[in-house]
């Protein structure tokens, strides 16, 4: 999922109804650099709860409005079925992107049944260099031995998240986040199962240091909104805060706390107020 492209759609698109839903579904699958995606019609229909005909009409209207561009038509070629290749034009520099195809998307095999190529980000170092960089970044952090060992092992194996090799800085962020959650909640989570979700969120704010993420975790744990549900469920792990929607909420809440702004009531706060009113009513009735 691409929060960057989806955010551009929410901000700049003039589409409404089913057209907007289809555009958001395509944006969710778009590359954050090229704004290109190749979801199939049936996939979009399933994701948007529209018929395949409704999806096709929505795409046609979006293309006519200039908010979506079909770079390459799909079809059945050389024994395999291929989806259209789209570019989301909301919030992008259309003149600089018009007619330009990036090497990454040109080389991508858009057959969903075949394995996708991995993309190695710039500045990725491997082997001992990555381990040394990770150790330098986490020198001031109190990491437990198992977290550090897992991180070193994953770096040495050139572990990938969303087809991109995890860098030393991203691994340092993930290790710091897991350690912070252990300290705040007291559950011995391991690094591996939560690595992808943390790394994907870290890529959305590449300027953040591991210490910044630690501060975010602490701010989120001061107001554990995930406990204020009807079932009063406990957090299932760092994925609660580092899911796409919850991460945006946690960032906003941390910024509000830092600047002393009063946080707006959300549905969890309203539910708490509703329960309090019910309890007060019962108590008053009992008197």
pLDDT value of residue 61: 92
pLDDT tier at 183 (50, 70, 90 boundaries)?
confident
Does the pLDDT of residue 63 top 80, yes or no?
yes
Pair (196, 251) in one structural domain: yes
Q: What are the helix (H) ranges across the chain?
A: 3-12, 17-28, 41-48, 52-65, 94-97, 103-106, 128-137, 145-156, 168-185, 195-204, 210-222, 244-259, 267-286
Q: Are 157 and 131 in contact (CB under 8 A)?
A: no
pLDDT category at 135 given cuts 50, 70, 90 is confident
- pTM of the predicted model as reported, rounded to 2 decimal places: 0.48
Q: Is residue 111 part of a domain?
A: no
59 and 172 fall within a common domain: no
Per-residue pLDDT tens over the stretch 137-173: 888 887 888 888 888 888 888 888 888 888 989 999 9
Whether 203 is in a domain gets the answer yes
Number of domains in the chain: 2
- Domain of 88? 3-106
CA quadruple 222, 228, 234, 237: dihedral sign: negative
Q: What is the mean pLDDT of the segment spanning 179-206?
A: 86
The pLDDT tens digits for 203-229 are 888 888 888 888 888 887 877 766 655
Copy the structure tokens of residue 48.
């948007």
34 located within any domain: yes
172-182 pLDDT, tens digit per residue, is: 999 999 998 88
């Amino acid at each position: 999922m691409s929060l960057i492209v989806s955010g551009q759609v929410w901000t700049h698109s003039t589409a409404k109804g089913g057209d907007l839903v289809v555009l958001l579904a395509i944006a969710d699958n778009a590359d954050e650099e090229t704004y290109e995606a190749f979801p199939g019609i049936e996939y979009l229909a399933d994701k948007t709860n529209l018929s395949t005909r409704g999806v096709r009409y929505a795409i046609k209207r979006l293309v006519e409005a200039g908010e979506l561009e079909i770079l390459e038509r799909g079809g059945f070629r050389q024994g395999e079925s291929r989806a259209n290749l789209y570019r989301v034009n909301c919030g992008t520099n259309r003149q600089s992107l018009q007619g330009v195809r990036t090497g990454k998307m040109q080389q991508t095999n858009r057959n969903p049944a075949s394995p996708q190529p991995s993309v190695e980000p710039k500045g990725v170092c491997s082997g001992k260099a990555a381990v040394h960089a990770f150790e330098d970044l986490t020198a001031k952090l109190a990491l437990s031995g198992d977290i550090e060992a897992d991180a070193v092992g994953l770096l040495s194996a050139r572990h990938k998240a969303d087809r991109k090799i995890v860098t030393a800085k991203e691994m340092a962020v993930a290790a710091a986040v897991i350690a912070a959650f252990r300290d705040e909640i007291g559950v011995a989570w391991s690094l591996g199962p939560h690595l992808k979700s943390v790394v994907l969120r870290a890529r959305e704010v590449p300027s953040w240091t591991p210490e910044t993420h630690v501060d975010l975790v602490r701010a989120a744990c001061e107001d554990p909104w995930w406990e204020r549900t009807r079932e009063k469920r406990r957090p299932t792990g760092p994925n609660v805060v580092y899911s796409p929607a919850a991460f945006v909420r946690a960032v906003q809440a941390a910024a509000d706390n830092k600047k002393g702004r009063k946080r707006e009531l959300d549905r969890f706060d309203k539910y708490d107020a509703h329960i309090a009113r019910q309890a007060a009513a019962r108590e008053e009735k009992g008197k």
